[in-house]
Structure 1
Amino acid sequence: MVDLNTLTASSSIPEKVDWLAERYWKFSRDARLLESLKGLFVLDEDGELTKEPVRDPLTRETAGLMVLAPSGSGKTALLMRTIRATQVLSEAVDGRPGNTMFVTVPAEATIKSLAQLIAQQAGYVGMASKIRTHEAWAIARHKLRSAGIRLLIIDEAHHLVRPGPGRDVPGAVQSLKHLLQGDAAVAVILVGVPTLREAVMSDEETDRRFEKLFLKPINAGSPEAEHFAKCCGWMASSLGLTLVARDRLPERILFAEQGQLGRAVDLFKETMTRALRARREFPSLVDAEHRFEGLYGPREMSPFAPGNWDAVRSELEKSGWGR
């Protein structure tokens, strides 16, 4: 990875592309997530996080958090960056010990297969395939405790609560609640799309145990949109590129991706990458449109059509763009 201090105009194209890919864009949501984390863990006398989850003094239950937003909003990157920037939390990965575990739920996962996955990541090998669900969870919870895990982050958690034949949504919701109960309880963060909350709401006891953090899209003209534009300008300048002011590329990108931060950042990075590899000083609307078309298919008119942006946006809105 290329360090910011070593990136210069003489850096190679591959170095610049790698540097760009590694850049994380910090927004107000980062501070909001950190504040939510402080609701999951005991704080020291300075108000800083410790490694110990909060427990209700009467029930001994730990606390949970849901991070909710549509696909492409940057939920996973936000969680990973926040955990890695928090000194007292360390990720257990690739055999390296830590007190935080990320688990990504596969699309077809069941609540039993999630328990098996958690146990496996915590170091348990050879769980019988015909094991009963409650037995799998007993092993998973024991392994979390013995591995020193204090925070379990379940990404793509909405896959657990999809309805359909053979699916046990109430059972899945109960299993998530049980992670917060007993001596082996851990703090839990569920990450998913808004349908996750809708399913969990079916059980009032579980729903109230999880604080909700909704990641809203960035609205045009908002302070967050201005911050996004400044980040784009700084990033381009650091790469030796110049954004053409009249193109208003950051505004077009946010509009194209309906304000979803993760997708907007990815589209901007890919647009810069195309300009770098083509050895152009000025990223173009064509660069952005080619990437956008590659993701979503050709359109009669896109947000990257040439011409005055206000006029282009007006035409798109008249045609029902984004609805």
Structure 2
Amino acid sequence: MVDMNTLTASSSIPEKVDWLAERYWKFSRDERLLESLKGLFVLDKDGELTSEPARDPLTRETAGLMVLAPSGSGKTALLMRAIRATKVLSEVAEGEAGNTMYVTVPAEATIKSLAELIARRAGYGGMTSKIRAHEAWAVARHRLRVAGIKLLIIDEAHHLVRPGPGRDVPGAVQSLKHLLQGDAAVAVILVGVPKLREAVMSDEETDRRFEKLPLKPISAGSREAEHFAKCCEWMASSLGLTMAVRDRLPERILFAEQGQLGRAVDLFKETMTRALRARREFPSLEDAEQRFEALYGPREMSPFAPGNWDAVKSELEKSGWGR
């Protein structure tokens, strides 16, 4: 089996594909998340994180964080990597204890069903169907304390505050606030699209308890765009592939995905994977276009059309691309 950290001249194509899939791309957002985590936990004498949630000395409440960005921006990968990279945090897994619980909210979840999910993940056998939402949350908070959970990460949290028949948005917002209160309080990270913040803003007390970390798209010509291009070049070189400079593939990918990092990284990886499986040393614009069309459907003209990139980009912008 290939070492996921290294490749050799004898590495097989499947090994290269697996290696590429395992690579995490570190950007400035990783450092910003680490700084935000330092606001959620007590720091040791050297200013490093401990696993003990920080509490307001006057109210004894813990703190929260909202990580906000559109779908495909790489929020989940960012949080997952932060858990792995932070020595004092360990995720609860099946059969394994930890101090961090990561839950993903199903699209049709209610605030009550989320409480049931959290309690079940924390070792509770099951709740009666007649239990009320506030009772379910009392059980969930108790089970978090018993299980030694210090950090609760709720991904796709915007599903909880989606309006509609039978849904209680104010109740959901209050339940999120209660996670930060009382003896069983934990640090909480909410992950979702910007509409999550709009819903939480409806309750000023809850909104101010959550620091906001928006993940902005990468702008063309920025330092982050340059870093993205360098990552692409290094990855391709490590795989034994050569990108044609004239194609300006990294720029095209960022433009195609409107600067959303998660989608841009995925598109680059899939483009390289197509070249590897075809046993070609030079990934092509056609590789990228085929993957792009597989995701979004055919276009009259895509960012991977042949020709000078500046000219292609100009035509796309004139046609209203990305609006």
**What band does the TM-score fall into relative to the shorter chain?**
over 0.9
Partner of 1:279: 279
Partner of 2:220: 220
Scaled by the length of structure 1, the TM-score of the pair is: 0.99
Partner of 1:52: 52
Inter-partner Cα distance in structure 1 for 2:162 and 2:254: 30
Deviation at residue 131 of structure 1 after TM alignment = 1.2
AA partner of residue 159 (structure 2)? H
Matches within 5 A, 1:173-322: 173-322=173-322
Deviation at residue 211 of structure 1 after TM alignment = 0.1
Inter-partner Cα distance in structure 1 for 2:216 and 2:5: 33
Whether 2:7 is the aligned partner of 1:14: answer no
Deviation at residue 5 of structure 1 after TM alignment = 5.2
- 1:272-310 deviations in whole A, cap 9, x for unaligned? 000000000000000000000000000000000000000
Partner of 1:143: 143
- SS of structure 2 residue aligned to 1:106: coil
Inter-partner Cα distance in structure 1 for 2:10 and 2:288: 25
Matches within 5 A, 1:61-80: 61-80=61-80
Q: CA RMSD in A?
A: 0.8
Inter-partner Cα distance in structure 1 for 2:114 and 2:5: 42
Inter-partner Cα distance in structure 2 for 1:319 and 1:20: 34
Inter-partner Cα distance in structure 1 for 2:19 and 2:280: 18
Partner of 2:165: 165
AA partner of residue 303 (structure 1)? P
Inter-partner Cα distance in structure 2 for 1:177 and 1:123: 23
- 1:141-168 deviations in whole A, cap 9, x for unaligned? 0110000000000000000000111110
Inter-partner Cα distance in structure 2 for 1:197 and 1:99: 26
Contact 1:64 1:188 in 2 (8 A): yes
Deviation at residue 196 of structure 1 after TM alignment = 0.1
- 1:210-257 deviations in whole A, cap 9, x for unaligned? 000000000000000000000000000000000110000000000000
Deviation at residue 113 of structure 1 after TM alignment = 0.2
Inter-partner Cα distance in structure 2 for 1:94 and 1:49: 25
Q: Which stretch has the larger CA shift, 125-134 or 155-164?
A: 125-134
Inter-partner Cα distance in structure 2 for 1:117 and 1:24: 29
Inter-partner Cα distance in structure 2 for 1:248 and 1:6: 26
Scaled by the length of structure 2, the TM-score of the pair is: 0.99
AA partner of residue 117 (structure 1)? L
Contact 1:61 1:180 in 2 (8 A): yes
Contact 1:104 1:154 in 2 (8 A): yes
Inter-partner Cα distance in structure 2 for 1:6 and 1:185: 42
Q: How many residues align?
A: 323
Contact 1:9 1:239 in 2 (8 A): no
In structure 1, list runs of 5 or more residues that go unmatched. none
AA partner of residue 291 (structure 1)? R
- SS of structure 2 residue aligned to 1:218: coil
Partner of 1:33: 33
Aligned CA distance change for structure 1 residues 169 and 5 (closer, same or farther; 3 Å): closer
AA partner of residue 246 (structure 1)? R
AA partner of residue 280 (structure 1)? R
- SS of structure 2 residue aligned to 1:51: strand
Partner of 2:156: 156
Contact 2:4 2:22 in 1 (8 A): no
Deviation at residue 271 of structure 1 after TM alignment = 0.2
Partner of 2:125: 125
- 1:146-191 deviations in whole A, cap 9, x for unaligned? 0000000000000000011111000000000000000000000000
Contact 2:67 2:75 in 1 (8 A): yes
Deviation at residue 129 of structure 1 after TM alignment = 1.9
Task: Return structure 1 stretches of 4+ with deviation > 3 angstroms.
Answer: none
